[in-house]
Structure 1
Amino acid sequence: MLSSPILYSFSLLLSFSLIYHFSPQILPLQNPQNPLVDELDDLTLFKKALRPSKTISHLSTKNPTPKIAFLFLTNSDLSFAPLWERFFRGYSNLYNVYVHADPFSKVSNPDGVFKDQFIPGKKTERGSPSLISAEKRLLARALFDDPFNLYFVLVSQHCVPLHSFRYMYNTLFGHNILEAFTSQSRHQSFIEILSQDPNLPDRYNARGINIMLPEIPFEKFRVGSQFFALAKRHALLVLKDRKLWRKFRLPCLNIESCYPEEHYFPTLLSMKDPRGCSQYTLTNVNWTDCFDGHPHLYQAEEVSPNLVNRLRLSNSSYSYFFARKFAPDCLQPLMEIADDLRNLNLLFPCNFVVVNEAVLKVYKCQILFLLKESLNFVWTPCEWSGVE
């Protein structure tokens, strides 16, 4: 007969085994992702996206029209889905939508243009390369899904459009559809690329002193907005990259200075094709009262036509297309003014600000003229002092 100490030891060992076996079912792991498995999954997806296009997937159309791929990166519900529905209305053959949602956030799948457009997602966290991986998955899925996706626009659940879809589409592609395909090598990517920032040294060394060498010397390190509009050739370039990614995927030692998603894309494109990039973003973000790394969050009482018009203003060649960050309760006031702003865009594709309730002062205006000598559209500048 077994002695008591041996019996107790056996019982204790059996208890540990049972706890180890059943604990994942009783207490689910907080982060059961496997970085190596995720990396291999991503590489498989990237290889598919980089293959020459022979067929078009079931999610796309066979109409040879250049399209904009809208890439939604989110970890919460798409509160502005109704606003985006209105934005996309009537242009179903000119865009595709793809959504990457953190599977641990339990994001609901809305109807309409977002229905069944969620791609297989992985966990995303601030201060880690997981956001870069998510953005690359969106690019890969859009490239693989439809060869007619020629621009890839990254937005978040807190972004709202500031112009009509037609305005944005014509700005990116012009009015000659055939030329949009044949001139892809000249398509410009709209991404912010900054070389002068007081935080660059700390961010460069966030993974350790000189860890980024030799692939990325400090003088090549760049910073910029996370949100971009990439031309197709640059989207392909991102998926082909392995050299810089080996550095950016390393974990940060200084979490407070770790923002990989604000550095990887600007640094890569600045090193590979600086002249092919605008150096500025099309997404307006208000950093005047930022908190804990987050920009100003607009509330419902701040929303007005005047705010939307101010958010369009840019010091660059184009006005801003999008703005963030908006609280969910901004949806209703934005919906109320959306139709008016859309109609004004169709009449006057330009920037304007409200002077008072009766008069709009229009400036930087460009009116479209149809030349009688040809069927080509050209833009000519003009000035408007006021519109009743």
Structure 2
Amino acid sequence: MRNCWNSIRNCRYSDKYRRKKLRVWHYVVGVSTILIVLALAFSSKHLGKSVSMNPCDLFGGNVCAGFQATVRPFTDDELAIRVLAKEMLSERTAVTDWNPKVAFMFLIASDLPFERVWEKFFQGNEGFYSIYVHASNRDSSKVWNSTVFAGREIPSKEVHWGQIEMIDAERRLLTFALQDLDNQYFALLSESCIPLYNFEYTYHYLIRSRMSFVDSFKDPGPHGQGRYSERMAPEVSYTAWTKGAQWFAVHRKHAVLIIVDYLYYNKFKDFCKPGQENKNCYPDEHYIQTFLHIMDPSHLSNWTVTYVDWSEHLWHPKSFEEGDIAEDLFRTVKAIQNHEHVTSETYPVQTSKPCLWNGRSQGCFLFARKFRPETAEALVNLLPSKVWNNSIHHSRSSATPDDNNR
């Protein structure tokens, strides 16, 4: 018997409310059943297909148009963390099961005048290289002349010479290149760089090297130790401070160290700047050189594989013009087997040491700069036929380690 506490009227009201509540519940169950059936019917159409489905597709039309999430680009730091996580979680098989690649990273302002030269260099070697281009001032509507560079630009930001933005661009290039786990060596190049050897020689020289090629030396003069700021201590000491050319080629482990560094990077960002008040400090000549010297000095070559001519003793190296392009020039550069450093003291001191590739004396340079844009035609006519082809035998005999060095 129903228990009505106050009156028959209240009891009737309670029955009416209960029936109404039951109808609502039936309605909810019915609608839910219909939606489930529709969902199953829709998904069954795509069974066995690889389809990226949006929940809003179930309802069709523009039901969810106002609720689409906007995906923002990752910051440089966020990308670096993602790369580090991927690196830590990756499980690579033996090198014999895959082809390690060299990442060629072009740090340019806008155009690359030697597209055709590089296109011939890469031709026929697909699967053994990757290309990344940071073009800070390039018109996005411009089309690359070579398909090799099409679609290889990374999101780029403005770069100011001699300032920390130069380092930011280098780290950005490394970050994007590191996302490909097959990339095992990373070479930084400018728009005025050209290759001295064919791809085969260059590839084996880098991939089979046990060292990273970073120019790093002690210069007691004003343009070396004289740029050190005591505000960098204790993390960066005076004795750890080194100097060198900007253009590096590094192993993957060193590339990862560079992009995830926070402590040393911020010291250079805050205290290594142009201007008399900052002792005319230029981060691209000191940051990576000093950082890797602190972190892993035993695996640095202390010379760069990119040749420049400082014979004019000016602030910038010699720029090669069309009249300089000759077979003898490249023969001379490729014959160099000692790397030299000159201090900035009142009475400069010059040192010369052999370029030891895996313990053996070897040619120092793989690339050369600075070549003016008007030399492009002469270079594309000379390099592939007269300069690179002469190094094929040399690459197999000299740049390939023997079994004891593998």
Alignment-derived partner of residue 262 in structure 2: 242
Matched pairs, number: 297
* Residue 48 of structure 1: how far off its partner (Å): 1.7
Following TM superposition, by how much is the alpha carbon of 1:377 offset from its aligned partner in structure 2, in angstroms?
6.0
Distance 2:289 2:166 in 1: 14
Aligned equivalents of 2:99, 2:251: Cα separation in 1? 15
Give the equivalent residue in structure 2 for 1:331. 376
The residue number in structure 2 matching 1:322 is: 367
CA contact under 8 A between 2:226 and 2:279: conserved in structure 1? no
For the pair 1:76 / 2:110, whether they are aligned, the reply is: yes
User: Which residue of the other structure, out of 123, 127, 136, is the alignment partner of 1:102?
Assistant: 136
3-state SS, counterpart of residue 232 of structure 2: coil
> Could you say which residue in structure 2 is the equivalent of 1:142?
177
* Aligned counterparts, 1:191-210, within 5 A: 191-198=214-221, 199-205=223-229, 210=230
Q: For residues 141 and 297 of structure 1, do their structure 2 counterparts lie closer, same or farther at Cα, with a shift above 3 Å needed?
A: same
Please list, as runs of the form range in 1=range in 2, the aligned pairs for 1:1-388 lying within 5 A after superposition.
41-52=75-86, 64-103=98-137, 108-110=142-144, 111-144=146-179, 146-174=180-208, 187-198=210-221, 199-205=223-229, 210-250=230-270, 252=273, 253-254=275-276, 257-291=280-314, 293-312=315-334, 313-315=336-338, 316-317=355-356, 318-319=362-363, 320-338=365-383, 339-349=385-395, 366=398
**What secondary structure is seen at the aligned counterpart in 2 of 1:244?**
helix
Q: Does the 8 Å CA contact 2:201/2:399 hold for their aligned counterparts?
A: no
> 1:82 and 1:197, CA in 2 relative to 1: closer, same or farther beyond 3 A?
farther
Query: Percent identity over the alignment?
Result: 32
- Kindly tell me: are residues 336 and 105 of structure 1, through their superposed partners in 2, closer, same or farther at Cα, counting changes over 3 Å? same
- Tell me the secondary structure at the aligned position of residue 234 of structure 1: helix
Q: Which has more strand, going by share of residues? A: 1
Counterpart AA for 2:368? A
Structure 2 runs not aligned, ≥5 long: 1-73, 91-96, 339-354, 357-361
Q: Which moves more between the two structures, 304-313 or 228-237? A: 304-313
Contact 2:218 2:225 in 1 (8 A): no
Q: Distance in 1 between matches of 2:297 and 2:231?
A: 24
The secondary structure found in structure 2 opposite 1:219 is coil
What runs of 5+ residues in structure 1 fail to find an aligned partner?
A: 1-39, 56-62, 175-185, 351-364, 370-375, 380-388
TM-superposed deviation, 1:105: 7.0
Cα deviations across residues 54-95 of structure 1 (Å, max 9, x unaligned)? 79xxxxxxx821000000001131000100000111101100
How far apart are the structure 2 equivalents of 1:321 and 1:286?
14
Provide the secondary structure at the position in 1 that maps to 2:392. Answer: helix
Cα 1:377–1:289, aligned 2, differ >3 Å: closer, same or farther? Answer: same
Structure 1 length normalisation: TM-score?
0.71
- Report the 3-state secondary structure (helix = DSSP H, G, I; strand = E; otherwise coil) of the residue aligned with 2:86: coil
Contact 1:163 1:345 in 2 (8 A): yes
RMSD: 2.6
Q: CA deviation at 1:215?
A: 1.4
Structure whose CA Rg is larger = 2
TM-score normalised over the length of structure 2 = 0.68
In structure 2, the CA distance between the partners of 1:189 and 1:153, relative to structure 1 (3 Å rule), is same
